[in-house]
Amino acid sequence: MRVLFLDLDSVSPRHLGCYGYHRNTSPNIDRIAEKGVRFNNYYTSDAPCAPSRTALMSGQFGIRNGLVGHGGTAGDMNAEGLDRQIFGNLSTGGSLPSFLQLGAGLNTALISPFPQRHSTFNFYAGFNEIYNTGGFGMESAEQVTPVAKEWLENNANNDDWFLYINYWDAHTPYRAPESFGNPFADAPLPEWANEDTLEKHKEAVGPHSVHELEIDHRGMTYTNDTGDQFPRSPGEIKNMDDMRKMIDGYDCGIRYVDDNIGHLFEVLEQQGILEDTIIIISADHGENMGQLGIYGEHGTADDGTCRIPMIIQWPGMQQGIVDDGLHYHLDLPVTLAELLDLPASPDWDGRSFAPTLTDGEDTGRDYVVISQCAHVAQRSVRFGDWLYMRTYHDGYHLFDKEMLFNLAEDPREENNLAKKHKEKCMEGAYYLQEWHDEMMFRTGDDVDPLWTVIKEGGPFHAKGFLKNYGKRLIETGREEQFKQLKEKHPSEFPEEEDTSRAEFKQVMMANLFKANK
C-alpha cells in the first residue's frame, strides 16, 4: 500500500479545472480527478492553516483539541492532563500519521516546514521521517519538488509508505517565480471580476480589502505597500488591471504547483507504480477572492475560505465520480480506518465516507459547522443550499452579526438574506447550538476556545491593530468607517471606555446623594 498525500496550501476548488474553472490551472490534478472520486462539498472544520491541519491530524474539531487560532492560548492544543501516559495519545494512534504507522504498518514521511511555521510540533507525531524544507512556508515549489522526487526515487518501489507533501505557492503572497511567466495573461477573467464588483468592494473595510491587501505586523496596521520580493501582489486593487494582477497571481501559484505535481507523477510513472498508488489531493483551506470583500486571504468562516478540494484516486475503487455530500476534512482518518479494516480512535470526531469510495454511496452529513478564530471569530453552518454565519469578532470588517447566503443562487456571498429569511437563520442557529452542545459534552470542559480568543483580545491577526489602522482610515478619507469600528470595538480604546463608566458612576452617585437628603 502506497499513499501520496498532497496538501496544497490555500488552493480553492473554485480555481481548479476539475471543479469547473474556465482557466487551465490544474491539468495534472484534473487527470487524477478523472480517474478517482471528486468531493464537491468538502470543508475544513477549522480555518485557517494551523487550526485546519491540527483538526485533520488529531481527528478532532478545534473546539475539542483547543487549537483554533494562530496565537495566545488558542495557538496550542489542549494538554492531555492527569491521564497522560509516557506515550501520549498522538503518538499511539490518536493522530493520523501514528495511526497509519502503528495500525497499518506504513513508513510515514513528511516534507513540510509547517510545524515550525506555526510552532505546531504536535503535527510531527507519528512521522518516521521528517524533511523540513526550511523556508517557514515561504518557499516555492522548486525548493520542495527536488526533495520529494529524491524521496520517491529512493522509496517508490517499497510496498508500504505514506508520504505527505506541502506546497505553498498559492498562499499569499503569491510567489511563483517571475521566470514562470504568466500563462493567463490573455485568459479572460472570471465573470464576477468586473467593474461593478470592484466598485462595490471599494466600500468594504478591514484587512485584505481592496485598499489594504498587506499586513505590517511591526507597525500594527494594514497597508497597500508592496515589495520587490513578491511582484505578483498588487498591494491595492484600484482598477481592473490590479484585479487581473491579483487573480493571475493566485492562478499562477496554482498552475506552478500543478506543474510540479506533474514532475512527481512522472517519477511514479517511471517507477511503474502511478496506477497502483493511492493519491489524495486536498488543501488546508481555500482563499477569499472577493468573497465578503476580502482578497488574497483565508480570513473567514465561509464557503470561500473553508470549502476545500478533495480528490482521491484509490486503485480498485470508484473512478470518475463526483460526490455532492457534505463532509469534513477530519472525516478522512475514520474513512481510512474503515478502508483498512482497522479500529478508529475513539477520540476522533469524524464520520467515514468509505462507502462513497467503494460503492459510490451517499455518505454526506445533514449539515457541517465551520469555524475561524485567527482573522475573525466566526462560526457558520452549511445546510442544503444555505450558509448561516454568526460573527463574534469581525476582524474590523464591519460584518453583520448574522449573515445568510443561498450558495446555489449566490455562490460568491454577495447578498445577505438574514433579514429576509429569519426562519433559515433560526434553523442554522439550531444546528449550531446542537453541534456546540455535543462538542462541549465530548470535550468534558466548560471552556470554548473561541471565547478564549475573545477574552484574550480578539483574533491574532486583528488584535491590537485598530488604533493604527484608524489613523490610516482617517488619513485616507474613511473617518466614518473608523467611527463605526470604534463603536463596535470599544475595548480597543479602554481610556474612553473607562471615562464613560466613570461618568455613569458619577451620575449615579449624585442621584444617590439626592435620594438620601
Q: Beta strands 214-216 and 221-223: pairing type?
A: antiparallel
Residue tagged 480568543 (cell numbers): 453
Looking up cell 505597500, which residue turns up?
225
3-state class percentages of the chain: helix first, strand second, coil last, to nearest 5: 40, 15, 40
pLDDT (mean) for 431-437 = 98
**pLDDT confidence band for 498 (50 / 70 / 90):** low
pLDDT tens track for 309-361: 999 999 999 999 999 999 999 999 999 999 999 999 999 999 999 999 999 99
Average pLDDT, the chain: 95
Is residue 325 classed as helix, strand or coil in its secondary structure? strand
Task: List, for residues 220-271, the tens digit of each pLDDT value.
Answer: 899 998 877 888 989 899 999 999 999 999 999 999 999 999 999 999 999 9
CA dihedral 342, 346, 347, 350 (to 10 degrees): 60
pLDDT for res 455: 95
Residue 510's pLDDT band (cuts 50, 70, 90): confident
201-213: pLDDT as tens digits: 999 999 999 999 9
Q: Superfamily assignment of 2-360 in CATH?
A: Alkaline Phosphatase, subunit A (3.40.720.10)
pLDDT band for 499, please (50, 70, 90 cuts): low
Domain regions of the chain by residue span? 2-360, 448-515
At 35-79, the pLDDT tens digits run 999 999 999 999 999 999 999 999 999 999 999 999 999 999 999
At 505 the pLDDT is: 74
| Three cell numbers written together for 161 | 509508505
| Whole-angstrom distance, CA of residue 330 vs CA of residue 308 | 12
**Reported pTM:** 0.94
Angstrom distance (rounded) from CA 182 to CA 178: 8
Angle at 410 between CA 351 and CA 61, to 5 degrees: 25
pLDDT tens column, 172-182 = 999 899 999 99
Band of pLDDT at residue 497, cut at 50, 70 and 90: low
Long-range own/partner contacts, residues 239-245 (CB < 8 A, 24 or more apart): 239/198, 240/189, 240/193, 240/194, 240/195, 240/198, 243/189, 243/193, 243/198, 244/189, 244/193
pLDDT in tens, 181-198: 999 999 999 999 999 999
How sure is the predictor about 506, in pLDDT bands with cuts at 50, 70 and 90?
confident
